[in-house]
Structure 1
Amino acid sequence: MYTHLIQRLFPNKSASQTGTQVHATSSEQKTNRKIASLIFLVSLFVASAAILFLNTISYASTFAISLLSLLPVFARILINTKASLVSVCLNIGLLSTFIYQTISHNQLDTAAFYIQTLILTALSFILPVVASQIIKKLEDNTQKITSLQQRLTDNSNLYEAFFQHTGTPSLLCDKSGKILRANQLAMDLLCSPSSGRTKPTKSLSGSTLSDWLTPAQHSNQNQHSSQAKKTKIQWRGNSAECVLKHDNSIKIDVKKSAISYRHYLILNLQNTTTLRTVQQKLANSQQELIRSQQAHSRLAHFDALTQLPNSKHFCQQVNDKITAQSDHFTGAMFIIRISQFKLLNKRYGKNSANRIIQDFTSGLKHKLSNEAIMGRLRGIKFACFVPVGQAYLLQRNLSTLIRSVLPDQVTVKGDTLNMDYQVGIAYYHSDGKNAEELLEHCEMALEYPDKTDCLSYYDPGLERRLLEEHTLGLTLGTAIRNREIEVWLQPQVTPDGQIRSFEALSRWNNNGQFIPPNIFIGIAETLGLLPLLAENMVKELVSTLTYWHEEKVHTPIAFNLAGQELMNDAFFALLMSLVSDNPWLSDMLELEITETSPVMTNPLIHKRLRSLSQYGYSIAIDDFGTGQASLGQLIDIPANILKIDRRFIAPLPDDQRHMDIVKSTMALANSLNMDVIAEGIETKEQADLLVSLGCTILQGYYFAKPSPMSEWTAEGSAKAKTLRMVY
């Protein structure tokens, strides 16, 4: 009350000031009690002394002595041990005074006096000691009880705090399920807003677990039915799955553990609503993953469009079939490639092109036997493995069989399309012992087909040639980079036999063996080495022409370009820079365009040739009459020289048809103001005939064979002297 009064009177004072005032009040009260006790003891002492000295009645003296003997006890009880000792001293002093007075009055003749004196002395010493020991023992016991009670209180508070702050909603129940205690988390969970009991008017104590939870398997029952109300928690071991009774969307897992005290139970609650939702999503995802894996597993083995086995699964099926057969089993594998499919795709669209593939595969399945195995390799390539008898080991019979099963036509958007194929074929056992070898050999036959037939059979010699070409290609690349390819020159002469110009030719001496130009030039073109080869040749020719220019020798040199060189930006820039730095070179370097190369129809080639012509280069069309579009090239290429191929010269002068072709070609060249070079002349009759027809430049073995360029440049060489004499 005093504290509340202070807070009302001085509301702004701090709590520490209030505590100090309360402590001062308590000290004052203790002081007052001590003063009152002291007054009481003094009064008792004075009263006893008065009775003892002023009263002559014997029993009054006895009463006074009794009171005095109790004075140390009262002092010990009311004040402390020091006060008791003071009382003892006072009693001794009073006793001494009383004895002295009694002696002076001659009152020592009675036995009562001795007894009283003895009692007073005994009680003055014994009672305070006994009382002090008893009080000390009581105080010690009181202190122990207080300490024990404090420990019990602390432990109780600790256990209460632990119970409240375990981080888990917890209930303390008896064995019947009655809730004895609940921590705040349990109250918040069971009395959640969704349950309709946002703030319980009382704690959960006294209710049962079934009042708040119901088993999960009964959550779909009517929550207000009597059956739901009577449903007990169904335990599975020490756990149970439940839902809130008033909101079955909230899932609760209950775990119990028994304690020995009165067989009580600790129930730990866990809200698993989110966990169950995540578990359900994970279960759904897992099922979806299984379905996806099954789909991917099929995609990993089958083509999605045609439902045919893919390459890997096709090989597995073929190998399984081969393994299951006897040693005398024979079969044939062939790869089918649909020709010009890109054009069909572009014309009819992707969807229609896919239908063409589906119609093709369905038609092929229908015509092949049930023993055949089909697969889609990639794109427009399909593989088939067919068991065949001895009769079909003959290529003629097998070719007839394959043509009979290939669909001839398919219909797309009302159009009937004729199908065109390329087929590569290999035999089991002779061409391969397993599916992988057979497929590889079919691919090889497909890439190097017979030009007269769409069906190509694997040839073991072809593989050897390919390996040889591969090895030769590696050596050729090194030789070109090391400038080991030699430049040879073959003269081109006028009708009177004078050297008009040279044609530069490449020759390769590979460890003492000359490799034919048609072989290593083709390999270089396949490997993309022609630009580097041509660059090396041009640099050697420029060096020779520069030397001749200083020697006043004016003899042009022509060199061949297959088209791949002109597609190379660096080589084209080299040709342009040469005549920019040395304008006289444009009259000394002639470009011979090999018309048989398909790349020569590229518009970029035509554009660059026109640029070179404008820079002064002479351009000749080589092998005229054997190329991709001979007459068209005369329009697209700014050529001023026409070379008649040796195949038209060789039959002369006996073959009249070839003679007519040569005459027509020369007439065409003359009408276009083009010079004509006839190459491949080997006899005098051929030379005389061509001169009589008006040919102005002749070339062939009859005049001179190709020879190393060094023979035309070396000092003292007879050919070099002849060249200077011609000039």
Structure 2
Amino acid sequence: MLLNFFRQYFLVSSTSSQRSDSDRFRISALRILLTSCLLVFGSFTLHSLVFNLNNADDYLIPLISAAYICVLSLLLYLSSLHIKLTASIFIGLLALTGWSLALFSEESNAVKFGLTTLYSLPLMVRLFFSFKASLICSLANCATFVLELSESHYFSNLDAFMSPTFSAFYFQLLIFVLLNFGLPLAVSRILHTLQMSLRRFRDLTARLNHHTELYEEIFEHTGTPTILCDKKGKVLKLNEKAEALLTKGQHRTIEGTRINDWLSSTSDSSNRYFWQKDAAKCALRTDAKSFLEVHRSALTTHGHYVLHLQDVTHLRALTQELESTQQTNSRLTHFDSLTRLPNHTNFCMQVNHRISHAQDYYTGAMFIIRISQFKLLNKQYGREQANRVILHFSKSLQERLSDTTITGRLRGVKFACFMPVGQTYLIQRNLRALIKSILPEQIKIGTDLLNIDYQIGVSYYTNEGEKAEELLERCEMALEYSTSAERISFFDQQLEAKLVQEHKLGLALAQAVKDKSIDIWLQPQVTGSGEIRSFEALARWKREDGSYISPITFIKLAEELGLLPKLAESLLKKLVAVLEAWHEEHIKTPIAFNLAGQELMNDGFFALLMSLTSDRPWLSDMLELEITETSPVMTHSLIHKRLRTLSQYGFSIAIDDFGTGQASLGQLIDIPANILKIDRRFVSPLPDDRRHYDIVKSTIQLAKSLNMSVIAEGIETREQANLLVGLGCDTLQGYYYGKPCPITEWTDNNNEKAKELRMVY
């Protein structure tokens, strides 16, 4: 323990201080010198006290020595706090002592001690200060040396110079040169070399630390578990990913162990050095269910191996599963995973094989079955229960069909069947009855017994070289024309021609919408006295050949193709331009604009309508909105929300075709309408049909009770007009009052005809 204390105190231990190397060196040297001087003066004091007890005159020297001990002790205490100050005081004390002994002492030994002390000062100065300070001190000692020579009379006469005692001069000169110049210069050279070496060492250490940190970072972030080991498999280093992979989260030391302690080869168990291969398959010894691949990346210049580990447990399990289920996977490629029926590709392949190998004349029927209300079932019962419906249906269908029928599931809720048929079933009525007989009418879900509706498209095969793919396309065409009234639709050439014609018409319609070539016509809406109170805007499409396409046809086609928002946007802009001109001319005749619902569902169209309204506050008084109640989307909550917004902006909203569409009475509650339009199909039989009369009368009474205005359309005779006026109908519309005509008839000649209306002021 005493030895450790001295090491710590004199700073010779590498862990004794956190100071810089130069400060530690100076403190250590200072403490060694001070301690040495303390020992010398302490010994001298004890010696003086022991041998001069009887001589009272000799107590001065022990007192001076004791004073030196106190000063040196104080300097030793301050050595770590103020290094340079303590060193300066210590050197000054030595200089004072040396000069005092050299100049004032009469004893030769004391003089020699003083000179030796002075000659040693440059070395001590160099230990604690710069080379220049040491050199100045050495030059100052030259005066001391000359002064000492002058007092020694070495050169006073020739005899003294020639005497043997002159050798004392050379001895003194040698001491002076060695202590005053030689040792300080030599120590300066050593210190300079050490400082340069220390700087280079620090630079090298900094670069080494930087490279080490860089290599550590690269090693840790290689992206893969990595191990560094020697040729015998001893683990020298590994990153965190490798440690986590080998220990499985347990805190265990891996560095210093061997690869074989953690991994065992699964492909070559007898090879202890399996990890030296380019790639080796292994199992984890701590977890036999974990499998790894070891990839040898490189052999370093030190003869070490860099190994990359890859966890292939999941991949191995998948591989085994794929290998064990290869036959099942092959089946899944050709069969539906839920029903195990042939999928589209396999179904076509089987049908084509049947057709190509048929002997003589062969007839057959291909039909597609689509479950109508499957989306409702999926929403009501959930996907799992809905899938059970499909599975139950497929099993029931297979049980009812003959072995000669090929059945498959195309996709979703579509099933395809191909069966050979004889002459009897070439008659559509007989085939229709056969198809109905094989389809289950009810399917049970839990405790519920559900009625199942179907849509079926049928195409005949008549041995004319058709392929299964072509027959399926024809069935799809027929399926599109199945209705709720006639669920089984048969394909024929006229149907194909009709589909082609509709396709061409759809392309022409898209171009017409793009070119804005669909025009607006107006039909007047009059009061009971025959005065025009408003117009209904009607879309008319005139082809290049001069023919007109029925609005019923192209509006329905636009809805199917998703063109209604663009079409409505184009017509609305044209109509607003006319209304803006009428507004400037003070023509206060509103125009009703029809919306089918799809337009209001479109964010772009609704934003356009709102922006037009914000820029033209008067627009809500001049533009009435007629909502076609037959549109299925009219029950959507977003439609109701946007109609309420439009009503708040002051728009009049009319329910068109009332009584013919979706939940008529419910619409009266959900839609903020203030106008009710009676459809022409209720007006046409009047006044002879009593039932239609009662329906129209009750509808008008219902509207009046709800504070709604009533418009009746389709009026063609005077009798119909008088009857409706008598029932309390507010507004009348029909050929009796005026047929639709181009809007230009009302806007030509600076809106001349429109200005003739009574509502111009």
Distance 1:615 1:408 in 2: 50
Secondary structure class of the residue paired with 1:303: coil
Correspondence 1:483-502 to 2 at 5 A: 483-502=516-535
Q: Distance in 2 between matches of 1:714 and 1:598?
A: 39
Please name the residue that 1:174 is paired with.
none
SS at 1:312 equivalent: helix
Distance 2:593 2:490 in 1: 39
In the superposition, relative to structure 1, how do residues 432 and 690 fare at CA in structure 2: closer, same or farther (>3 Å)? farther
Q: Per-residue displacement from partner, 1:685-708 (whole Å, max 9, x unpaired)? A: 211222222222111111111111
Which of 359, 371, 396 is equivalent to 1:363?
Answer: 396
Cα distance in 2 between the residues matched to 1:289 and 1:633: 57
The reply on whether 1:525 has 2:569 as its aligned counterpart is no
Cα deviation for residue 388 of structure 1 reads: 0.9
Q: Secondary structure at the match of 1:639?
A: coil
Report Cα offsets for 1:51-81 as digits up to 9, x if no partner. xxxxxxxxxxxxxxxxxxxxxxxxxxxxxxx
Q: Report the equivalent of 1:470.
A: 503
- 1:702 maps to what in 2? 736
**Correspondence for 2:726:** 692
Counterparts in 2 of 1:20-35, with a 5 A limit?
A: none
CA contact (8 A) 1:646 1:681 kept: yes
C-alpha spacing 1:284/1:470, structure 2 compared with 1 (3 Å): closer
Residue of 302, 312, 335 corresponding to 2:345 = 312
Name the aligned partner's letter for residue 639 of structure 1.
A
2-side partners of 1:344 and 1:543: how far apart?
Answer: 48
User: CA 1:430–1:583 in 2, change beyond 3 Å: closer, same or farther?
Assistant: farther
Cα distance in 2, alignment partners of residues 661 and 641 from structure 1: 17
Tell me the equivalent position of 1:423. 456
Q: Following superposition of structure 1 onto structure 2, how do residues 80-229 of structure 1 map, counting pairs within 5 Å?
A: none
Between the two proteins, the alignment pairs up a number of residues equal to 468
SS of alignment partner, residue 516 of structure 2: coil
Asked whether the 8 Å contact 1:338–1:420 carries over to 2, the reply is yes
Aligned position for 2:202: none
Aligned 8 A contact 2:680 2:714 in 1: yes
Q: What is the CA–CA distance in structure 1 between the aligned matches of 2:475 and 2:379, rounded to whole Å?
A: 28
CA distance in 2, matches of 1:459, 1:422: 17
The alpha-carbon deviation at position 722 of structure 1 amounts to 3.1
The C-alpha deviation readout for 1:406-438, integer Å capped at 9, x for no partner, is 233344434444433222221112898121111
The corresponding residue for 1:508 is 541
Provide the residue aligned with 2:682 in structure 1: 648
For 1:560, the equivalent position in structure 2 comes to: 594
2:693 maps to amino acid: M
Shifted more, 535-544 versus 502-511: the winner is 535-544
**Equivalent residue number for residue 666 of structure 1:** 700
The equivalences for 1:294-443 within 5 A come to 294-429=327-462, 433-443=466-476
Q: Contact conserved, 2:509 with 2:558, CA < 8 A, in 1?
A: yes
Aligned to 1:593: 627
Output the CA distance in 1 between the equivalents of 2:551 and 2:277. 86
**Aligned partners of 1:451, 1:285: CA distance in 2, in Å?**
49
Greater alpha carbon shift after TM alignment, 559-568 vs 361-370: 361-370
Superimposed CA distance per residue, residues 373-422 of structure 1 (whole angstroms, 9 cap, x where no aligned partner)? 11111122211111111101111111221222223334443444443322
In structure 1, how many angstroms separate the alpha carbons of the residues matched to 2:320 and 2:728?
Answer: 88
Distance between the aligned counterparts of 1:597 and 1:271, measured in 2? 73
Shift of 1:462: 2.4
Over 3 Å counting, the alpha-carbon distance change for 1:478 and 1:330 in structure 2 is same
The answer to which of 403-412 and 529-538 deviates more is 403-412
Q: Compare CA radii of gyration and give the structure with the larger one.
A: 1
Alignment partner of 1:673: what SS?
Answer: coil
Corresponding residue SS for 2:430: helix
Does the C-alpha gap of structure 1 residues 338 and 550 become closer, same or farther in structure 2, counting only changes over 3 Å?
Answer: closer
Q: TM-score under structure 2 normalisation?
A: 0.57
Q: Which amino acid aligns with 2:517?
A: E
Secondary structure of 2:397's counterpart equals helix
DSSP-derived class of the 1:577 partner: helix
Report whether the alignment pairs 1:460 with 2:480.
no
Residues 422 and 454 of structure 1 are in contact (CA less than 8 Å); yes or no, is this contact kept in structure 2? Answer: yes
CA contact (8 A) 2:588 2:760 kept: no
Cα distance, 1:272–1:362 mapped onto 2, change above 3 Å: same
Q: Is the 8 A contact 1:490 1:502 kept in 2?
A: yes
Task: Give the whole-Å Cα distance in 2 for the aligned partners of 1:505 and 1:627.
Answer: 20
Give the TM-score normalised by the residue count of structure 1: 0.60
Residue pair 1:410, 1:418 contacting (<8 A) in 2 also: yes
The one-letter amino acid paired with 1:610 is: R
Whole-Å separation in 2 of the counterparts to 1:601 and 1:288: 50
Change (3 A) 1:535 1:274: closer
Alignment-derived partner of residue 715 in structure 1: 749
Alignment partners' CA distance in 1, 2:592 and 2:281: 85
Whole-Å Cα distance in 2 between the matches of residues 705 and 554 of structure 1? 21
Give 1:579's aligned residue.
Answer: 613
Whether the aligned pair in 2 keeps the contact of 1:330 and 1:428 (CA below 8 Å) is yes
Whole-angstrom CA distance in 2 between matches of 1:662 and 1:271: 94
Q: 1:431–1:458: 8 Å Cα contact kept in structure 2?
A: no
1:290 and 1:669 map into 2 onto residues whose CA distance is 73
CA RMSD of aligned residues (A): 3.2
Name structure 1 gaps, 5 residues minimum: 1-187, 194-247, 254-269
For 1:175, the equivalent position in structure 2 comes to none
How far, CA to CA, are the matches of 1:595 and 1:584 in structure 2?
27
Supply the AA of the counterpart residue of 2:484: K
Change (3 A) 1:354 1:515: closer
Mapped to 2, the partners of 1:672 and 1:327 lie a distance apart of 72
Distance 1:571 1:716, change over 3 A: closer
Q: Compared with structure 1, are the counterparts of its residues 327 and 503 closer, same or farther at alpha carbon in structure 2 (3 Å cutoff)?
A: farther
Alignment identity in percent? 64
Please give the secondary structure, in 2, of the residue aligned with 1:617: coil
Residue identity in the other structure for 1:443: E
Contact between 1:488 and 1:706, CA under 8 Å: does it hold in 2? yes
Q: What is the CA-CA distance between 1:718 and the residue it aligns to?
A: 6.6
Partner of 1:250: 270
Is the 2:361–2:463 contact (alpha carbons within 8 Å) kept by the matching residues of 1? no
SS of equivalent to 2:394:
helix
Matches within 5 A, 1:55-94: none
In the alignment, the residues of structure 1 paired with residue 675 and residue 282 of structure 2 have an alpha-carbon distance, to the nearest angstrom, of 88
